[in-house]
Amino acid sequence: MRETRPAGRLGRVVGALWLRLCGWRVEGRLPDATKSVVIAAPHTSSWDLPHMLAVAWVLGVRPAWLGKQELFAGPLGAFFRGLGGVPVDRSRRGNLVQQVAERFAEADRLFLVVPPSGTRSRAPYWKSGFYHIARAARVPIVCAFLDYRRKVGGIGPVLEATGDVAADMDLVRAFYDGVAGRYPERTTPVRLAEEDLPGRAIS
């Protein structure tokens, strides 16, 4: 996984042009932290990727992002990797969390974008990988968003993964309440499966 690089002047121009042509604007700014796990939500459309990248470039970074391995097959694989993409085999959990946490420890600057729904279709829960990665790497969680109703993308609150998953997710839910994906009916509820387990805390 590559370190996050500045977007550069060309990236900012391309991002701003894309958003202007699509009628979008940017709100918020990146936190002062040099490392973070960035939530990308809601995720309901293939259009989320170019919009997300354009917003990031306007904000001045070229983030790393996780994508299903099928996206990197064929001639477009190198292109997506060049945009910061990291292929993930969603059928194998393995020790991905620990591997990513170690990469955070090695990097001087890393903004990792994670779509916690894990799919563009509606699912029962968000996947908790983003939470476990942030907690293991001891980096903040940044709430980034794409609101198709307002045509606004940007950065919201920053929080720590304390281990009290219900309390932490209440903060996340409060922010994303009312943020609309391109296809609202596909939106996965902002909830982790761990919240429905006894104790509701992550050690």
Q: With beta carbons less than 8 A apart as the criterion, state whether 120 and 186 touch.
A: yes
From the DSSP assignment, how many helices (H) and strands (E) are in the chain? 6, 9
- Residue 157: strand, helix, or coil: strand
Residue 44's nearest CA partner among 127, 153, 123, 111 is 123
At 33, the pLDDT band (50, 70, 90 cuts) reads confident
Any domain includes 203? no
Q: With beta carbons less than 8 A apart as the criterion, state whether 101 and 137 touch.
A: yes
- pLDDT surpassing 60 at residue 1: no
| Integer-rounded Cα radius of gyration of the chain | 16
pLDDT digits (tens, 9 = 90+) for 41-75: 999 999 998 999 999 999 988 888 877 778 888 88
151-185: buried (b, 16+ CB within 10 Å) or exposed (e) per residue?
A: ebbbbbeebebeeebeebbeebeebbeebbbbeee
Any domain includes 177? yes
Q: Please report, for residues 128, 140, 148, 168, 169, the alpha-carbon distance to residue 135 in angstroms, rounded to integers and kept in the order given.
A: 11, 8, 30, 12, 13
Any domain includes 34? yes
Cα 67 to chain centroid, rounded: 10
Structural domain including 116 reads 5-196
Any domain includes 143? yes
Cα–Cα distance, 151 to 173 (Å, whole number)? 20
Cα–Cα distance, 145 to 118 (Å, whole number)? 15
> Lowest mean pLDDT: which of 37-51, 58-72, 151-165, 189-203?
189-203
At 137, the pLDDT band (50, 70, 90 cuts) reads very high
Any domain includes 67? yes
Any domain includes 202? no
- Residue 176: strand, helix, or coil: helix
The angle subtended at Cα 104 by Cα 152 and Cα 95, nearest 5°, is 100
The reported pTM is 0.84
Any domain includes 201? no
- pLDDT surpassing 60 at residue 93: no
- pLDDT surpassing 90 at residue 11: no
Amino acid of residue 92 = R
Q: What does the pLDDT read at residue 7?
A: 67
Residue 20 DSSP class: H
Provide the domain count of the chain: 1
Q: Read out DSSP for 22-39?
A: HT-EEE----S-SEEEEE
Q: What is the pairing mode between strands 61-62 and 141-147?
A: unpaired
What tokens does 118 get?
Answer: 């894990």
